[in-house]
């Protein structure tokens, strides 16, 4: 409080100043009381002062969904916060924490729904990126990381010893290669489509394999091996370890001796009574990706001011030293320098490079590519590709010296290299009246790539057909009739147990005046689409003349997706991204 001076005339004298002085003194006292009261109210509202136990009256309630590994620590922090009467704007903050698998919350948000929480802490920013990239999703806002943990490979002691742990270090590809060579070293992981740790490890393995000339073959072989031992979630993958340390289950083919695992998961496992001899942790020498647990606000447009401020208040509470120690006690990292106690309990030991900085986050493109290749490698695919051969495909792509068709062919050949001999791939092209009155022509029927055809294989036949694609002089775009015919063929030849899809590439809009109308096309596509036998249409609008909005409308009628690329060389990446999106839709169904 500042010093208050009296009016000048009080000190200067005058005729009977006392009544005025009393009035002035009362006024000053009143101002002082109101100022103190007001300051106290502000302090209480902002949580600086706590008068008694205000948390019993009208707290701000927050529902928080957390990754199952982090939920126990956040629950403990929320309970501690309530006991300490932390407040936001004078009201106590009451946080309720529930464990939810990150992929399930992602599915809900991607579908444009709200999971019924104000705050979400998934295990990785991978999920947040997936949502923010989808304009139809319920939007979320990340406000920073709560904790982190690196991803590595944990092994039962006998397996770790056979590989020279802890003195010998390995790269990701070397660890995966050891598991492929030695059937007794069975490597398990969580499904990359449902696990951020599984996806980050897969991306690292795919990136490492790409450095070799036969990189795609290596990656496909590694994925096939890994897919045979995947579990739905990170929690379930721990259940695949031998149940005791006696060695009685050593030869059980269902049991894994090595797991793609986070340091925190290994810490928790080794800390439990059921951990037995515990796990030893390999930290790959080419770097460990990390889970970063982003503190994320859900649909901020629907949050009240009190909820938004309370959510930020709890986040700042989690960053206090006491709560950081609480997170460390649960096996998480809260600083760049790892805790020796956490590393040791997780099974880490020198000279394993556990103190090395985590890898930079993988790009969205790299994650999509890894997951797309995983989808078509593990599940096997049946995909028919339909390519626009109208005259406009002869137009040059700026800066390349090649035509739209030439660049499209190169991109499709690149995509073809990612499919395995088990996949079924076919090719159509279309313009107008290519085959009598029909706008389309079946160049290569959709068959298994490894099948023998004439003097070669289906892959050889497709490679040649891709190379022979050429624009039709003066040919227009018969898009609607072709799309309907191709989708009818794809749904009628649906293959159980495979990822079925139809890919249509066009650089223009429908130009066949005698074709079915767009409304008629949409109606028929909806009738053909069967959720029990899904065949998503992936429509790619190539170049500035194509209509992205129409592509999305047509593809959406089948449960598929529309995309636009300005450069045909982007087609390969878009196909993989679309496969990921279609696979996610299928898992929701």
Q: Which two tokens stand for residue 298?
A: 């859900």
Strands annotated E in 67-122: 87-88, 91-99, 119-121
User: Using CA atoms, how far apart are residues 430 and 426, in angstroms rounded to an integer?
Assistant: 14
Rg (CA), the chain: 31
Residues 370, 384: Cα–Cα separation, whole Å: 21
More confident call, 468 vs 571 = 468
pLDDT confidence of residue 171: 92
Q: Residue 570: pLDDT band by 50, 70, 90 thresholds? A: confident
Q: Does 29 fall in a domain?
A: no
Same domain as 158, residue 68: no
β-partners of residue 145 are: 294
Left if phi > 0, otherwise alpha if psi is -120 to 50, otherwise beta: which for 497? left
Together in a domain, 82 and 217: no
Residue 26 lies in a domain: no
Mean local confidence (pLDDT), 102-120: 95
**Does residue 193 lie within any of the structural domains?**
yes
The pLDDT, as a whole number, for residue 32 is: 33
What CATH number has the domain bearing residue 73? Answer: 3.40.190.10
At 10 the pLDDT is: 27
- The mean pLDDT value for 395-423 works out to 88
Question: Could you tell me if 462 and 505 lie in one domain?
Answer: yes
What is the extent of the structural domain holding 66? 60-145+294-330
Q: Check whether residue 218 and residue 316 sit in a common domain.
A: no
Helix (H) or strand (E) holding 186: none
Same domain, 287 and 325: no
Determine the Cα–Cα distance for residues 263 and 152; give it in Å rounded to an integer: 7
Indicate if 497 and 515 belong to the same structural domain.
yes
With respect to residue 15, please indicate whether it lies within any of the assigned structural domains. Answer: no
Element (H, E) at 427: strand 424-435
**Number of folded domains in the chain?**
3
* Stretch (H or E) spanning 142: strand 140-145
Q: How many CA atoms lie within 13 A of 441 on its CB side?
A: 16
Token digits for 16? Answer: 């009977």
* pLDDT score of 55: 59
Q: What pLDDT score was predicted for residue 249?
A: 52
| Shared-domain flag, residues 350 and 488 | no
For 273-327, write each residue's pLDDT tens digit.
Answer: 555 679 999 999 999 999 999 999 999 999 999 999 999 999 999 999 999 999 9
Cβ pair 141, 118 in contact under 8 A: no
Encoded tokens for 317? 């509470």
End of a domain among 330, 354, 388? 330
Q: What is the percent of the chain where pLDDT is above 70?
A: 84
Mean pLDDT of 248-261: 77
User: Closest Cα to residue 587, out of 187, 13, 33, 111?
Assistant: 111
**pLDDT at residue 379 in the model:** 75
* pLDDT average, residue stretch 208-224: 68
> Which of 174-178, 224-228, 363-367, 527-531 holds the top average pLDDT?
527-531
What CATH number did the domain enclosing 528 receive?
3.40.50.410
- CATH code assigned at 157: 3.40.190
| Same domain assignment for residues 175 and 320 | no
Instruction: Judge if 64 and 130 occupy the same domain.
Output: yes
Q: Left, alpha or beta for 429 (phi > 0: left; psi -120 to 50: alpha)?
A: beta
User: What was the pLDDT predicted at 46?
Assistant: 39
Residue-level pLDDT at 13: 34
Shared domain check, 235 and 167: yes
Specify if 16 maps to a domain: no
Q: Over the stretch 489-523, which tens digit does the pLDDT of each residue have?
A: 999 999 998 889 999 999 989 999 999 999 999 99
Residue 50 has pLDDT above 50, yes or no: no
pLDDT of residue 584: 55
Residue with the two structure tokens 């620590």: 73
- Range 155-181 average pLDDT: 90
User: Is the predicted pLDDT of residue 114 greater than 80, yes or no?
Assistant: yes
Residues 267 and 303 in one domain: no
Give the pLDDT score at 166: 97
Mean predicted confidence (pLDDT) in 120-131? 96
Residues 277 and 426 in one domain: no
Angle, nearest 10°, between helix axes 71-83 and 305-318?
110
User: Is residue 22, in this structure, part of any structural domain at all?
Assistant: no
C-alpha span between 182 and 349 (Å, rounded): 24
> Does residue 30 sit within a domain?
no
pLDDT given for residue 327 in this prediction: 98
Tracing tokens 């029927």 back to the chain, one arrives at 445
Determine which of 135-149, 207-221, 286-300, 308-322 has the lowest per-residue pLDDT on average. 207-221
Predicted confidence band at 23 (pLDDT cuts at 50, 70, 90)? very low
Asked whether residue 14 is assigned to any structural domain, the reply reads no
| pLDDT, mean over the chain | 85
> In the prediction, which pLDDT does 218 show?
66
Summarised one tens digit per residue, pLDDT across range 434-447 is: 999 999 999 999 99
Is the pTM higher than 0.75? The answer reads no
pLDDT of residue 336: 80
Share of the chain above pLDDT 90, in %: 61
CA distances from 352 to 182, 288, 345, 356 (A): 22, 11, 14, 9
pLDDT at 44: 37
Q: What is the pLDDT of residue 21?
A: 37
pLDDT at 4: 32
Among residues 512, 441, 443, 504, the alpha carbon closest in space to that of 476 is found at 512
User: Token digits for 355?
Assistant: 């103190």
pLDDT in the model for residue 375:
78
The DSSP annotation for 495-555 comes to: -TTSEEEEEEEESS----TTS--HHHHHHHHHHH--TTS---EEEEEESTTS-HHHHHHHH
Contact between 219 and 209 (Cβ < 8 Å):
yes
* Rounded Cα gap, residues 80 and 98, in angstroms: 16
């Amino acid at each position: 409080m500042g010093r208050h001076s009296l009016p000048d005339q009080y000190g200067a004298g005058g005729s009977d100043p006392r009544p005025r002085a009393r009035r002035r003194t009362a006024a000053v006292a009143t101002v002082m009381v109101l100022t103190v009261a007001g300051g106290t109210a502000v302090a209480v509202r902002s949580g600086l002062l706590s008068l008694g136990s205000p948390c019993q009256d009208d707290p701000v309630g927050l529902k928080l969904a957390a990754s199952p590994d982090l939920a126990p620590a956040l629950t403990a922090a929320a309970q501690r916060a309530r006991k300490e009467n932390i407040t936001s704007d004078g009201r106590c903050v009451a946080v309720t924490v529930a464990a939810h698998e990150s992929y399930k919350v992602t599915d809900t948000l991607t579908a444009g729904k709200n999971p019924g929480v104000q705050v979400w802490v998934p295990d990785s920013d991978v999920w947040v990126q997936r949502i923010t990239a989808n304009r139809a999703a319920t939007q979320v806002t990340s406000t920073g990381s709560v904790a982190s943990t690196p991803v590595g490979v944990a092994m039962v002691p006998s397996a770790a010893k056979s590989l020279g742990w802890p003195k010998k270090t390995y790269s990701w590809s070397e660890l995966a290669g050891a598991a492929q060579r030695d059937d007794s070293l069975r490597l398990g992981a969580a499904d990359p489509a449902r696990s951020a740790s599984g996806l980050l490890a897969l991306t690292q393995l795919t990136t490492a394999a790409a450095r070799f000339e036969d990189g795609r073959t290596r990656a496909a072989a590694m994925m096939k091996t890994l897919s045979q031992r995947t579990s739905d979630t990170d929690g379930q993958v721990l259940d695949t370890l031998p149940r005791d340390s006696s060695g009685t289950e050593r030869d059980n083919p269902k049991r894994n001796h090595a797991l793609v695992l986070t340091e925190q998961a290994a810490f928790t496992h080794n800390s439990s009574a059921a951990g037995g001899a515990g796990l030893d942790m390999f930290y790959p020498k080419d770097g460990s990706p990390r889970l970063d647990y982003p503190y994320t606000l859900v649909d901020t447009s629907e949050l009240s001011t009190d909820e938004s401020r309370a959510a930020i208040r709890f986040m700042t509470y989690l960053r206090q030293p006491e709560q950081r120690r609480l997170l460390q006690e649960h096996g998480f990292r809260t600083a760049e320098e790892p805790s020796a106690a956490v590393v040791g309990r997780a099974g880490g030991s020198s000279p394993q490079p556990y103190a090395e900085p985590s890898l930079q986050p993988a790009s969205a493109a790299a994650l999509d590519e890894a997951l797309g290749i995983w989808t078509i490698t593990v599940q096997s695919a049946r995909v028919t590709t339909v390519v626009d051969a109208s005259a406009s495909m002869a137009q040059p792509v700026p800066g390349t010296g090649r035509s739209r068709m030439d660049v499209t062919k190169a991109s499709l050949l690149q995509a073809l290299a990612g499919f395995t001999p088990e996949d079924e791939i076919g090719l159509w092209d279309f313009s107008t009246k290519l085959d009598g009155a029909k706008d389309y022509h079946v160049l290569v029927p959709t068959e298994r790539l490894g099948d023998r055809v004439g003097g070669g294989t289906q892959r050889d036949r497709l490679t040649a057909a891709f190379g022979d694609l050429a624009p039709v002089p003066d040919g227009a775009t018969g898009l609607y009739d072709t799309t309907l015919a191709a989708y009818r063929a794809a749904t009628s030849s649906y293959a159980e147990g495979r990822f079925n899809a139809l890919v249509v590439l066009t650089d223009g809009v429908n130009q066949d005046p005698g074709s079915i109308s767009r409304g008629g096309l949409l109606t028929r596509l909806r009738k053909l689409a069967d959720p029990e036998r899904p065949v998503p249409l992936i429509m790619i609008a190539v170049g500035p003349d194509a209509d992205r909005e129409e592509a999305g409308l047509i593809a959406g009628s089948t449960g598929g997706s529309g995309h636009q690329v300005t450069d045909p060389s982007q087609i390969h990446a878009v196909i993989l991204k679309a496969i990921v999106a279609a696979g996610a839709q299928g898992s929701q169904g």
